[in-house]
Structure 1
Amino acid sequence: MKITFLGTGTSQGVPVIGCSCEICKSLDFRDKRFRTSVHVQVGELSLVIDTGPDFRAQMLRSKVKKLDAVIFTHEHKDHTAGLDDIRPFNFMQQKDMPVFGRKQVLEQIKQEFSYIFASKKYPGVPQVEAIEIDEAAFSIEGIQVTPIPVMHYKLPVLGFRIGDFSYITDANDIPQTSIDLVRGSEIVVLNALQKTSHISHFTLEEAIDMAKTLGAKNTYFTHISHKLGLHSEVENELPEGIHLAYDGLELSLP
């Protein structure tokens, strides 16, 4: 399994438009963050979790030539806005793109991208196969994917476990039943928005505490805002086995 962080930033990305803080002005490439998304390659299977507004640029930068499926964590725009850019994969692969999401996620996508689902389609629109999922495990081309239910303030969000890799973004509460689903993972990804309290995301301290509870060999933080601090400084503050992810970071699992 190969995991590539396509984006590790929060909904505004980093740098933030019009901001002149030291993080937004940083020349460290690790402080330049597209909206959060991840590419997972398992054998021949290539899938993406979330297609945010930067999806096209992410695919070009990571040189992804084949995409077998898209899985959505939830319906917020910073996780869905790039869906239109699956069109080149439709053309190259000559098939509809399987898109997995909860009922409310698919309903939101059908509203925002109504032209994709119109009875009379304009030529060249994305070709999508919408597949509804719930909290039960499902498979994509023989690879099992286990949903991990979490809460994003009052919004239900799904994380996902594939083999020994667990991915959770946009959460500030993980119930015990979901903690049990994650335990035993070699790599866990969690959101860590900023150091100060937030209504719908883990703070850095909360994410560290949750990482310790989950007990993975390595935990990587994502969905990071410019308020968290400089990557180089925050990385040095973290306990052993806990890291800040950055755009383009690649991880491998046997």
Structure 2
Amino acid sequence: MKDSVTFWGTGDSMGVPRVYCSCDICDEARGAGSNRRYRSSIMLHAGDSELLVDCGPDWRGQMERAGKRFVERVLITHAHFDHIGGLPEWADACRWLKRKGRLYAPLEVLQTIQKQFPWLQNQLQFHDCAGGLQWEHWRIRPWRVCHGKNGYSYAYRFERTAGPSYAFVYCPDSIRLSDEEKAPLFGLQLLILGTNFYKEEAAPATRSVYDMVEALELISEISPGRVIFTHMSHGVDLARSYPLPSFVSLAQTGLTIELEPS
């Protein structure tokens, strides 16, 4: 089996549809559903091994959709609810199945999670990966990125250590990256980047995630081989054609990408 990444969720912090909203995109999401978006998460596959990145409040539905009853390893980008809201349900599954889950994140993220859910360590093994993590034949490196008004998040760079050379980054929550924060984004075959809107009109001081227009400026600087936008709000319509380069596309729930050189 080839290494791959599957998009379990592609939505922003509130998901799509918004419960209060009757815009065209939310109404379409309730009906045909092409714009229905669960909170952002990806599942990585390396042979028979799996690694889930982020475990938000839609985790149970995402597990049911994938036909799974257990996941052993979860890597967390930051301790905001849309990325950790499913951890209690995962821990409960571990309790009933009498299996330990393995939770990976930089120490400060683990400490925040422990304060919010102090009983999780009864069922989960916490692993500090601030110095990096080896998972199967992938070396995983975390680094802090600006999350705008929400402080900071972590992005992860994955580099294959055996077999065909390949490097990709998962960065769902970031904006206004400094030169130092951009450094790990060079030399990528694939960049998965969060973009809430095509063009966001909110005041810069209130924002926390790139829009697509800003992201294209970043992409022109770092020159990745392929880009997929995720973490999208109800301001993004998958039926619309946005002026994007041919190597840039929008994520959809269930989309699977093989992590192989083109």
SS in 2 for 1:74: coil
| The one of 153, 156, 164 aligned to 1:160 | 156
1:13 is displaced (CA, Å) by 0.5
Residue deviations 1:76-106, cap 9 Å, x none?
11110001232435655x5421111123321
1:53 is displaced (CA, Å) by 0.3
* Residue in 2 that maps onto 1:246: 252
2-structure distance, mates of 1:185, 1:64 = 31
* Residue in 2 that maps onto 1:97: 101
* Residue in 2 that maps onto 1:19: 21
Structure 2 gap segments, 5+ residues each: 160-166
One-letter identity of the residue aligned with 1:169: P
2-structure distance, mates of 1:161, 1:45 = 18
Confirm or deny: 8 A CA contact 2:169 2:185 kept in the other structure: yes
| The one of 124, 134, 137 aligned to 2:132 | 137
Residue deviations 1:100-157, cap 9 Å, x none?
112332122112222324xxx6xxxxx10111232x3222355311113211015221
| The one of 3, 13, 34 aligned to 2:5 | 3
Confirm or deny: 8 A CA contact 1:197 1:203 kept in the other structure: no
TM-score (normalised: structure 1):
0.87
1-structure distance, mates of 2:45, 2:170 = 14
Identity of aligned residues (%): 28
Confirm or deny: 8 A CA contact 2:70 2:93 kept in the other structure: no
Structure 1 gap segments, 5+ residues each: 122-126
* Residue in 2 that maps onto 1:216: 224
TM-score (normalised: structure 2):
0.84
* Residue in 2 that maps onto 1:148: 143
2-structure distance, mates of 1:181, 1:64 = 33
1:222 is displaced (CA, Å) by 0.8
1:180-219 to structure 2, matched below 5 A, reads: 180-194=183-197, 195-198=199-202, 199-219=207-227
Q: How many residues align?
A: 242
Q: Structure 1 stretch 59-68 or stretch 169-178: which is displaced more? A: 59-68
2-structure distance, mates of 1:40, 1:80 = 17
Confirm or deny: 8 A CA contact 1:6 1:39 kept in the other structure: yes
2-structure distance, mates of 1:133, 1:244 = 29
1:244 is displaced (CA, Å) by 0.8
1-structure distance, mates of 2:61, 2:217 = 33
